[in-house]
Amino acid sequence: MREFENLDRWDRVAEHYETTAHPFTARFAEAALARVPLTGSSRVLDVAAGTGALALAAARTGAQVLAVDFSPGMVARIAGARLPNVDARVMDGQALALPDGGFDAVFSIFGVIMFPDWRKGLAEMARVTRPGGSGVVATWQDQGAATFLLLGEIRRRLFPERESRAMPEGVRALGDPAGFTRALVAAGYAAPRIDRVTFDYALDVAMLDDPDTVFGLSPDWVDLSAADRAAVIAEARRMAGGRPVLPIPSTALIAVAER
């Protein structure tokens, strides 16, 4: 099992994720929301919601939001916001315990793409989207983003003979717009519109003192020796060039499709 499929790992990092990743993914969530008009009567589902970057932003429109994630730790962070129009539940996005066609808009911001069975995740999203409703999925380009992208770049520079195994199958399959379109149509959606959106991830260089937290979800980190890890950290510090923050431009594909 890869670390990004490890429930205990997500529970352990929920607080750190909320502090570091949430503000970054929230920018993409806002970009996704801007593509779908919501009202106070809209029923919204956020699948693999994490700490709620999309769900909490959608709630500000007045919509009724259900946020689901397989990690109780992540769900607890969303529930902690105590918003009256947000319900947060522990649920497997590959087998949603929800009725057909129950939502006007179903989102997954970098969530379904991490599932072992991402095709089932997309199909479940389509199943619970009402006819005429919208499905919105954000994925990374196939090299990933943020610290995954940084680690991959450094590995290729330091260890060019080693093959990367960091990105889950869903990211690799959907990182190409043509493949993304085919997958959404196969899941039950129609007429996908796909845009590329880029924002910088701001890596606090001081966090390199705790590299397992920074890189620990990546298989490309787990299989490095202690000496190799030290070399990676040294290279990341060199790239920062004395700056307190290292910007990592990260590109997502955001798809909006019809049901």
Pairing of strands 245-258, 129-140: antiparallel
Give which of 20, 122, 124, 30 is closest to 77, Cα–Cα: 20
- One-letter amino acid at 90 equals V
* Res. 235 pLDDT band, cuts 50 70 90: very high
pLDDT tens digit string along 115-174? 999 999 999 999 999 999 999 999 999 888 999 999 999 999 999 998 877 678 999 999
Angle, alpha carbons 30-93-38 (nearest 5°): 35
Which CATH superfamily, name and number, covers 3-146+162-200+250-258? Vaccinia Virus protein VP39 (3.40.50.150)
Token pair for 53: 């970057």
Quote the pLDDT of residue 166. 65
pLDDT recorded at residue 143: 84
Check residue 3 and give its pLDDT: 55
pLDDT, residue 164, reads 79
Q: Mind giving me the DSSP string for 5-54?
A: G-HHHHHHHHHHHHHHTHHHHHHHHHHHHTTS---TT-EEEEET-TTTHH
- Cα distance between residue 6 and residue 4, in whole Å: 5
Residue for token pair 């589902």: 45
Q: For 22-41, what is the mean pLDDT?
A: 96
Sequence letter at residue 208: L
Interval 73-86 mean pLDDT: 95
Q: Which amino acid is at 33?
A: L
